[in-house]
A and B are shown apart, each in its own frame.
Chain A
Amino acid sequence: MSNSAVPQGGFAEAGADLELVGITKRFPGFTAIEDLDLRIPAGSFFALLGPSGCGKTTTLRLIAGLEEPTAGRILIGGKDVTSTKAFQRPVNTVFQSYALFPHMTILENVAFGLKRRKVANADALAHEALRLVELDHVSARKPAQLSGGQQQRVALARAVVNRPALLLLDEPLGALDLKLRRQMQIELKDIQDTVGLTFLHVTHDQEEAMTMADTVAVMNKGVIEQMGPPQELYELPRTAFVATFLGQSNLMTGRVVSSGGTSMVVDVAAGQVEVPAERAQRTSGEVVVGIRPEKVTLHASDPGRQTGRNVVGPGRITDVSFSGVSTQYEITSPALGVFTVFAQNTSISRMHHDGDEVWMSWEVGHTFGLADEPSSVSANRFADDTDTSMIATQRREQLEAELEGA
């Protein structure tokens, strides 16, 4: 596809930078996005992750030109496109519903964008794009004759064929079943490597965002809470929202008792927790600290104070669920509430049983200190999250049921 140069209207071979400056979007009655600043470098695979209603889809629609921002500017490749209409922007979207034109053949759908821009060999390029997604053999069919997965690939081909500076993906895998999802995730990543465009992927699926994107921005209530490579986000979440939306976390609140040069010590009710200074967002007063469940080791007796390890406990195991590679323990104690631990099932690790009294320990270096006020964490802040995944699951089940029924 390298010969498909489209010199018209700033359409480039490579992707372009996207820059959002102070974007605010208000709808009657609520603010969807509040003063958002975002920079996505050219050629990257960027994921915007958040629960439904967090403003991520609105952000996407603003970039595509389907909504107008209340305030702020949008720059693509350094050019201000804020006041231009959708059809004038070098941006293409893969819609969540695919939105393939039902009255056109697959080929007509894919060639649509090229023909509107009067590209000479539109049909040949469309065939080429269809070959990329391995669907050239269905080019004469109508969208209704294809399966969901095939439609998704056609939608992708229809967007990629235009070689936009920026490709927007609005939960494009939302309606697919798990197996197809995995397959499409790999294909998407391949296509991004092949064509080298800038991808902006919007999703509520944290696993999808982490496996595919170079950079993930976690969005909540119209603001980006944290942004970075997936691993960094997982290992060092800065807010309680990120810590719990991206994987699981055990959060504890306590008062800082000492704050030295390299670390601070927090007095949580069930023991003392040391946090490296560079991993703590706040170093005085009441703070929230956390640890990922798989970093924690269980002990049948109090291991005592050790340098370089944090020890809390005791607590009582209230739930054990064995899942082959690992075992998940739920430990309840009056001081900590519910504490989750994932233990690898290696031959040397011994099983603990329901009702056992245990102590938990982990390396100091894995602890993270959050930026939240303790009061805001204890509040029921994540109700949205469970709702989202539940709705998504239900929708998928409905769609599967429909597919089976058809």
Chain B
Amino acid sequence: MAFGAFATATTAAEPAARRKSPIALLLLLPGLFYLGLFFLVPLLSLVITSLQEPDPLIFGQYQNAFRWENYVTVLEQYWPQAVRSFGFAAVATLCALLIGFPLAYFIGITLRRWPLLQALALVLVIAPFFISFLLRTIAWKQIFSDEGPVVGFLQSLAILPPGVAITGSAFAVIFGLTYNFIPFMTLPIYTSLERLDLRYVEAGGDLYASPRSTFFRVTLPLAAPGIMSGTLLTFIPAAGDYINASREFLGSTDTAMIGNVIEANFLVLQNFPAAAALSLVLMAAILVLVSVYVKRSGTEDLL
């Protein structure tokens, strides 16, 4: 399946044939050029911007410097948003995993005997992508709005006290993140489970492992490459997300994530060094978290 691309990230690739061909280098050139122009140059510019200091003469202008204090300032000022970002992203990743795994299991294993249903279920997982995710998130805002059906229902059951809104709450933001990233979680896990040889599961049962034990000792470890890709594909973009948490969508100022702060500093406050420093902090934090995660889950053991 085309989704195999998600899962191959963690499996060891076959060593390619060692042949130095000038054509291969030639074919690589456009990609290298693209990477240099649209990744390295902006990254460098971001680093330079993050160290700039305000122009003493013109208000709102910045000049090149080596003001590393920018980093300390933004961390002091925005650490709650940074912590909240990673917290929200982690909770949303967990929720997406709890929803995505059973879904992937159902499609990849239970529906194996009915290929047509399997294909249909996959299409249903991808179907939300046919509509812009901005529109879908707006739609959830409508559903959760104060006059909406959910609030009305919960209030009529007296679960939700009057005057309390769902939109703008941490719940709404995490809900939005979870909802938007479920397909990114489901598809890689699906590719892992779809290839799972059920004879291993039978062997587990044959060797006195209860269905529960077989699941945790055989099925889950064999699906680990998919879970790995799925959690990374969910956690990394969710940590930097600024749509779900923004006031125009499901969030409020109380739920601002680091993405919203960066957006505000770049576009509203026009404090470019602060925004650039925050971006780099976010990038570094994700890099550290992900490498620890990859190391801890021992990808080298996965086949």
Contacts and interface: CB of A to CB of B under 8 A. Distances in A.
A66 B205 contact: yes
Interface stretch (B100-108, B208-216, B242-250): B208-216
Given A95-B199, A97-B199, A144 B206 contact: no
B222 A102 contact: yes
A162 B203 CA distance: 13
A112 B214 CA distance: 11
A116 B207 contact: yes
Contacts of B218: 101
A393 to B, nearest CB: 23
A65 interface: yes
Interface in B257-303: 301-303
A65 B222 CA distance: 23
B213 A64 contact: no
A162 B208 contact: yes
Contacts of A340: none
Contacts, number: 67
Given A102-B222, A103-B222, A103-B302, A116 B213 contact: yes
A86 B200 CA distance: 13
A395 interface: no
A86 B207 CA distance: 8
A15 B234 CA distance: 53
B199 A103 contact: no
Contacts of A95: 199, 202-203, 206
A305 interface: no
B221 interface: yes
Contacts of B209: 87, 112, 116
A99 B205 contact: no
B83 to A, nearest CB: 35
Interface in A88-141: 88, 91-93, 95, 97, 99-103, 112-113, 116-117
Contacts of B222: 102-103
B245 to A, nearest CB: 38
Interface in A165-181: none
A26 B197 CA distance: 24
Contacts of B302: 103
Contacts of B203: 93, 95, 99-101
Given A87-B210, A95-B199, A116-B213, A103 B205 contact: no
A128 B207 CA distance: 18
Interface residues of B, number: 23
B303 A85 contact: no
A65 B206 CA distance: 8
A64 B206 contact: yes
A86 B303 contact: no
A144 B11 CA distance: 14
A113 B303 contact: no
A316 interface: no
Nearest to A117: B208
Interface string B183-221: 000000000000001011011111111110110011001
A65 B202 CA distance: 10
B208 A103 contact: no
A92 B205 contact: no
A382 B88 CA distance: 67
A103 B303 contact: yes
A279 interface: no
Contact of B207 (A88, A112, A144): A112
A153 interface: no
B200 A99 contact: yes
Contacts of B214: 87
A103 B221 contact: yes
Contacts of A66: 202, 205-206
**Residue from the set A64, A92, A116, A158 with the largest chain B CB neighbour count within 10 Å:** A116
A65 B207 CA distance: 12
A100 B213 CA distance: 16
Nearest to B218: A101
B127 to A, nearest CB: 32
A97 B302 CA distance: 20
Contacts of B301: 103
A103 B219 CA distance: 10
B303 A101 contact: no
Interface string A74-87: 00000000000111
A99 B213 contact: no
A87 B205 contact: yes
Contact of A101 (B200, B205, B210, B213): B200
B208 A113 contact: yes
A161 B214 CA distance: 19
B258 to A, nearest CB: 36
**Residue from the set A93, A97, A103, A144 with the largest chain B CB neighbour count within 10 Å:** A103
B206 A86 contact: yes
Contact of A102 (B202, B204, B213, B303): B303
Contacts of A85: 205, 211
A95 B213 CA distance: 20
B208 A99 contact: no
14 contacts: A87-B204, A87-B207, A87-B208, A87-B210, A93-B203, A99-B199, A99-B202, A101-B203, A102-B303, A103-B224, A103-B302, A112-B209, A113-B208, A162-B208
Given A65-B206, A99-B202, A99-B203, 10 more contacts: A64-B206, A87-B205, A93-B203, A95-B199, A95-B206, A99-B200, A101-B204, A102-B222, A102-B303, A117-B208
